[in-house]
Amino acid sequence: MTYAPEQLTDLSPDDIVLESLPEEIVAAMESRDRWVAGLPQPTDAFEFLVSDVQAWAPDQVVRVAFMGGDTTLHNKIADACQEITDACGITLDFGGGRGGFRTWTTRDTEHAAEIRVSFDMGGYFSLVGTDSISTFVPHQSPVGGRPNQRSLNLGGYDQALPPRWKGTVLHEFLHALAFHHEHQNTRGPCEAAFRWDDDPGYQPVQDRQGRFIPDASGRRPGIYTYLSGFPNFWSRAKVDHNLRGLREGGGITAGRFDPASIMLYRFPAMFYRTTPSPCAPIGEGESLSEGDKAALLRLYPEIPDDRKQIVERRMTIADEIEQQAREVPAATFIEPTVTQLRAGIT
């Protein structure tokens, strides 16, 4: 479910707005990911939770374009992302110059940019890596990889910047560079540390905006209940998709858990079973951690010999996908997935 950006104007500093891709996008991604997860796991695991299947070429120039917002906002986002490009061998090209920042529209028939930013949908989200240019998602969706579809959304940023806005920008752009959520790292403690269910005997209570809050006896809603209310309105399945651990394999690799990562959400205290929680982030959540920077450099190295190793690794994955596709009935996502990988090899 998506919701109008104006609803975000009622946010309090304690609210957490989680990424919320449209349901049809999630369904397409899950179908693809289930198949890819069965592929052999590469032996050279990266730091962190990243996806080779959806990574860009190691030294690629990835163009970014905006729909909506003004030059001041565009400049702030570009400046925030400088921290990413300073850490690795990839370039985020926002255009700029005398002609202003690069823009795109829903009428485009050719890609103005690989990453197409919008501000008009509810919440914050990004497609992961080269899904931003893939055609395996439904063409009628407002979100997808086609030239006229959004790939990254920062809902309401064109109206007012929310608390910790820079951290959100970095988080979403790392998604766009093939990073997954750190709380979904199965080598970390988060799945066991989360309070999935309500306190025993909890009586559902909502405030005037629809947030689920503790009841008269102080019993608290669990994650499933809390996220079903304002400002996320998530189903149980969407909670599982976004919070449960991601299985390694098929190009998704995990390193040690990084509590300082920008990809680890700053959840409300009631999300955790204990205080302090081993899943709680450390740091201010407004800049990349040293682990984030190391992961970026491993995925997008600056040294030619390191880039060669990345290319060889992805060639192995692409070959394996093509071999598997010959042995099983081909799904609609197979050809786009291989195309994405081959693009990341050159």
For the segment 48-72, the average pLDDT, to the nearest whole number, is 83
- Provide the pLDDT for residue 34: 63
Instruction: Give DSSP secondary structure letters for 117-160.
Output: EESSSSSEEE--GGGGG---S-TTSSBSSSTTSBSEEETTTTT-
| In the predicted structure, residue 188 carries a pLDDT above the cut 80 | yes
> Concatenated DSSP letters for 215-253?
-TT-----HHHHHTSTTT---HHHHHHHHSPBPPBTTEE
3-state secondary structure of 162: coil
Confidence tier at 140 by pLDDT (50, 70, 90): confident
Rounded to an integer, the average pLDDT of 165-190 is 93
pLDDT more than 90, % of the chain:
51
pLDDT of residue 3: 36
Q: Select, from the ranges 46-55, 62-71, 179-188, 318-327, the one with the highest average predicted confidence (pLDDT).
A: 62-71
Tens digit of pLDDT for each residue in 145-173? 999 999 999 999 999 999 889 999 999 99
* CB crowding 142-165: b at 16 or more within 10 Å, else e: bbbbbbbbbbbbbbbbbeebbeeb
For residues 104 and 173, what is the distance between their CA atoms, to the nearest angstrom? 17
Per-residue pLDDT, 68: 97
Number of CB atoms found within 10 A of residue 182's CB: 28
Is the confidence at residue 49, as pLDDT, over 50? no
Please report which confidence band the pLDDT of residue 95 belongs to, taking 50, 70 and 90 as the band edges. very high
- Gap between the Cα atoms of 204 and 226, Å rounded: 10
Task: Please give the pLDDT value at position 98.
Answer: 66
More confident residue, 173 or 52: 173
Identify the weakest region by mean pLDDT among 39-48, 86-95, 199-208: 39-48
Mean per-residue pLDDT of the chain: 83
Share of residues in the chain with pLDDT > 70 (%): 73
- The strand pair at 212-213 and 205-206 is best described as antiparallel
- 273: CB partners within 8 A, 6+ apart: 192, 193, 194, 195
pLDDT in tens, 282-338: 988 999 999 999 989 988 999 888 878 777 777 776 676 666 666 655 555 555 555
pLDDT band at 43 (very low <50, low <70, confident <90, very high): very low
Tokens 């010959």: give the residue.
326
State the first-to-last Cα distance of the chain, in angstroms, to the nearest integer: 37
Question: What is the DSSP code string of 90-103?
Answer: -EEE---STT-S-B
Q: What does the block give as tokens for 108?
A: 């485009």
Q: Which amino acid, residue 195?
A: R
Q: pLDDT value at position 250? A: 47
